[in-house]
Each structure stands twice: as C-alpha cells, then as structure tokens.
Amino acid sequence: MLTIEQLEEKYNKYLIDCFDFSPPQGWLNIVDTLLYELVICEPKLSISQVKEKFGQLRVHCNAQSQIAFGLIEAAEIESNLTCQVCGEPGVNRNCGGGWYTTLCGKHFIERISKLNTKEKAKMFVEHIANCIPFSSVNEFTCSFNNFDPSGMTHECRPLYESFRNLACDNRQRIIKEVLERRPKE
Ligand SMILES: [Zn+2]
C-alpha cells in the first residue's frame, strides 16, 4: 500500500514550498496519478497544498496550463467519488455536525457509530429534509408516520432507528432544530 511518506519522497523536488501535504490515505493513488501527470506538463511545478476540504481533494500549485487545470479538476472530482479512508467507491455526505466527508458504506457506518443518539436522529431528519421538503413539525411527523423504511439504504438504517426510538418530545425538538437551521426562502 502506498504511503504518504513514499509520495513525499517521490515528488520531493516539487514539494519544496509545500506547507500542507495531507491527502487522506484513500486518495493517495489519485494524488500519485495526478502528480505524475502534472510534472509532465508542468516541468517547473511547485506544489503548495494537497489536502482534503469538505470531503474533496484540494490541490494548490503554480500550474499555468489549461491541461494542468483540467487534470487537477478531474482528480478533485474523482476524490469526491472515492472513500477517503480506503479508496473504494464513496459518497460525499454530511457525516454529522455538517462535516462533509467522502466515505464508502462501511466507513460511513463506522463513522456514524461514534455519534450519539441525538446526533444520529438529527442526521436522519436532515437526510429526509433533503429529499422531502417540510415546513413544520406536524408536516414532518405526518410524513414520518407514513414513512416506509423498507426502501431505506442499509447505511441510513441506524439513523432512522435512532430517531424512531426517541420519545415524542425529543423528536419534536430535533425537527424544530433542523427547521430553524434551514435557510429561509
Ligand atoms: Zn471506505
């Protein structure tokens, strides 16, 4: 398995002015391919940052050519579809507290298992809010009562169960919180 140290050694010539080289493990192959191609079209390449932000790869360097910009953009898009922990196909989503992370199903479940019940229940409401618009606690409660969990993905099930197991007043409080945080139209 490729390590960050190996990448740093391989491209050290281009990383002299780099102050943040912290790509997550799952994206090291994407970074390797990108840097390999970049140095071909940008012989004077100097990289200043390679990091993760909002579950996406960010690369800052002195590249000038359209080809280089295209390569960087393609790698950033690919990272958005690749689990940042293991490199398997992933989905970019809120993994609690508004932190966007790109994870495969297995690592998503592992991540949310560390959240408490309230946080999980809130993620469930946020998830539903993204699919079905609702404007009041009653409206959400109505939709929830008619909700059919059989079509729910394996990954969302722990979120659903956390919400379902809450007492009625705790549910209402969470729905209100999510409603208040949504941007007003
Ligand atoms: Zn993974």
**CA distance to 65, 103, 134, per residue, from 100 (Å):** 30, 10, 23
Question: Ligand 1: distance of its center to the CA of 120 in Å?
Answer: 20
Residues 131 and 66 in one domain: no
Structurally, how many domains does the chain consist of?
2
Q: Write the pLDDT tens digit of every residue in 50-86.
A: 999 999 999 999 999 999 999 999 999 999 999 999 9
Domain containing 49: what range?
4-90
Q: Write the pLDDT tens digit of every residue in 30-46.
A: 999 999 999 999 989 99
- Kindly state whether residue 110 falls inside one of the protein's structural domains: no
User: Which residues contact residue 143 at a Cβ distance below 8 angstroms, ignoring those fewer than 6 apart?
Assistant: 128, 132, 134
Residues 124 and 75 in one domain: no
Residue 159 has pLDDT above 70, yes or no: yes
* Euclidean distance between CA atoms 176 and 20, whole angstroms: 40
Question: Ligand 1: distance of its center to the CA of 89 in Å?
Answer: 8
Mean pLDDT of the residues in the chain: 91
Neighbours of ion ligand 1 (CB under 5 A): 83, 85-86, 88, 104, 107
- Kindly state whether residue 97 falls inside one of the protein's structural domains: no
Q: Write the pLDDT tens digit of every residue in 97-143.
A: 678 999 999 999 999 888 899 999 998 888 777 777 788 889 888 88
* Euclidean distance between CA atoms 173 and 95, whole angstroms: 20
- Kindly state whether residue 30 falls inside one of the protein's structural domains: yes
Question: Ligand 1: distance of its center to the CA of 97 in Å?
Answer: 20
Asked whether 55 and 102 are in contact (CB, 8 A), the reply is: yes
> For position 19, what pLDDT does the model report?
96
Residue 14 has pLDDT above 90, yes or no: yes
The pTM is what?
A: 0.82
| Nearest partner of 26 among 99, 94, 136, 108, judged by Cα | 108
Question: Ligand 1: distance of its center to the CA of 135 in Å?
Answer: 35
Query: In DSSP terms, which residues pair with 49 in a beta bridge?
Result: 20, 60
* Euclidean distance between CA atoms 107 and 85, whole angstroms: 7
- Kindly state whether residue 101 falls inside one of the protein's structural domains: no
Residues 13 and 86 in one domain: yes
> For position 108, what pLDDT does the model report?
92
Residue 185 has pLDDT above 70, yes or no: no
Question: Ligand 1: distance of its center to the CA of 110 in Å?
Answer: 9
Query: And the tokens for 30?
Result: 């994407």
At how many degrees (to 10) do helices 157-164 and 105-112 cross? 30
- Kindly state whether residue 100 falls inside one of the protein's structural domains: no
Residues 80 and 126 in one domain: no
